[in-house]
Amino acid sequence: MKPVNSGGHAAYQDHVLTLMRKYYPDPDMLPRSTWEIIDRFWHHDLSNVDILMADRYSVFGPPPRLPSCMLRSMLLAVEFKVASFTDWAAQLKMNPLYAILSGFAPDNIPGVGTFYDFNTRLWSSVSPNLSEHEHAPKSKVKKPSAKGAKADPVDKVTVEDLLVLFDLDPPASPQPYDRLFDIFYENFLSVSVSKGLLNPDSLALSGDGTPVVTSSLERSRRTCDCKDKGISDCQCTRYYSQPDCDIGWDSSRGCFYHGYDLYLLTSSDSESDLPVFPLLNPASMHDSHGFLHAWFNMKRCLPGLHVSKILLDSAHDAMPLYEYFIKNGVVPFIDLNEKRGIKLKYKDDFTIGKDGVPVCLAGRKMNHDGCEAKKHRLKFRCPLASRKYGCSCSEPCSDSKYGRTVHLQMKDNPRIFNIPPRDSDEWKQEYNARTSSERCNKRLKIDFALENGRHRSSKNWYCRLYCIMMCQHLDAWDLPYESELKNLLRQAA
């Protein structure tokens, strides 16, 4: 039958207070770190989850576990660093606190299968994966020659082609993870907005991909008899146990790995480095392609979100991205990739350095002299010129005392010429905020141990990923100076 939560969050608080008085009458017996987790769940109302999940339950049958309690229990498992449902079900039996905070009675807790069944209800698809198990052999990435460099894209499509494709044919709706995102948005992302941690009307986003290792080996088997015939390198379909994963190159560790490339869009102007939208791509996907998949899926899920700035690393340094952002009113802060060419000839007698600053024929870097945003151009002048004494260069290139002036038009090369210019303190200060992606990824993978979840399906990986993101938002919210629940327990004592 349908889940019914008539008492809402007040009923949950009464449940916790009553059982805490019975099992933990002295609140000081629990450590401070545990009380921080208790207070967060005590204050946060998840009763809306029961409404969002109602259509995933049948009208007939026995009363189910409340979706809000099941989700709360999964979030508690993340907070207490338990990655396995089997281990968590055992912990619920051994530790009454975990059961009480979840919303269960200590003598009536769900089993392992109930958690997996709830994951299935969160996943809006019959298949636990995004692609079929059987398909052609996957392309292998090549090890880059330079240390610390990222592998070249496996896909033959270019960034420009992919942009055109997404403009003509946006990502289909719905996606299997849409229910997870709805819960994340309604109960966590929107709450962070209401608390002033995010500004949806002018949001600065930082994007980056990070490896997610799901297994040590790529498990597949042949579906043909070509090997028996002596053909070892046939292109017949294989059966992959993890069809959405493949082998990629981890540039930070300098090794191959099997799993996903998690592309995460993070709010770079929030103090807590809060995640906004994630997407699990195959490990072999290049960051520039992963960004486009994540960007257009985010626009599908958050159509009212206005992004004012985008901060990306040199893997995204592609001219079509600059042109797209400028066209759509987004200011790009993208690090230059020297392999794609930086120094270029400009107006015959000047070259442009790697920071976008003109260099005269004498080899001197010109001084930045303001910008004209309305005309989309930057102004530079000779570093040796003086209004009083003229130019002190042995071979001056201008008779004017003001010195030679160069205006760089953004339309000439939006990749090199930026407003604000790359040599300005404003650009450097904005781009330094891109480290929010690294800090957010560190929270996901180290603090909350994302990779400890040994799953075989994208369904379970997405459920774990979204639960961790929910905990990141939950931990960023301020708590009252004194614990309300602790004071109530002391009054009862």
Q: Can you tell me the distance from the alpha carbon of 185 to that of 402, in angstroms, rounded to the nearest whole number?
A: 56
pLDDT of 265 reads 97
- Select from 301, 228, 289, 299 the least CA-distant residue to 263: 289
Q: Can you tell me the distance from the alpha carbon of 308 to that of 206, in angstroms, rounded to the nearest whole number?
A: 11
Tell whether pTM > 0.85.
Answer: yes
Q: Can you tell me the distance from the alpha carbon of 207 to that of 434, in angstroms, rounded to the nearest whole number?
A: 8
- Select from 183, 176, 15, 14 the least CA-distant residue to 104: 15
Q: How many helices (H) and strands (E) does the chain have?
A: 16, 17
pLDDT of 123 reads 97
For residue 192, what are the contacts with CB-CB under 8 A and spacing of at least 6?
Answer: 198, 270, 274, 473, 476, 477
pLDDT of 388 reads 57
Q: Which residues does residue 210 pair with via DSSP β-bridges, in sequence order? A: 262
Is 30 in a helix, a strand, or coil? coil
Residue-level pLDDT, tens digit, the chain, 493 residues: 898 888 899 999 999 999 999 999 888 889 999 999 999 999 999 999 999 999 999 999 888 999 999 999 999 999 999 999 999 999 999 999 999 999 999 999 999 999 999 999 999 999 999 999 998 888 888 888 877 778 888 888 899 999 999 988 888 888 999 999 999 999 999 999 999 999 999 999 999 999 999 998 888 898 888 888 888 888 899 999 999 999 999 988 889 999 999 999 999 988 889 999 999 999 999 999 999 999 999 999 999 999 999 999 989 988 899 989 989 999 999 988 776 555 555 555 667 766 667 777 777 777 777 776 665 677 777 777 766 566 667 667 776 667 777 776 666 567 776 777 777 788 889 899 999 999 999 999 999 999 999 899 999 999 999 999 999 999 999 888 888 888 888 886 5
Structure tokens at 330: 């987004």
Contact between 172 and 125 (Cβ < 8 Å): no
At 136, which helix (H) or strand (E)? none
Q: Which residue type occupies 302?
A: L
Contact between 371 and 348 (Cβ < 8 Å): no
- Select from 201, 399, 452, 416 the least CA-distant residue to 305: 201
Contact between 20 and 103 (Cβ < 8 Å): no
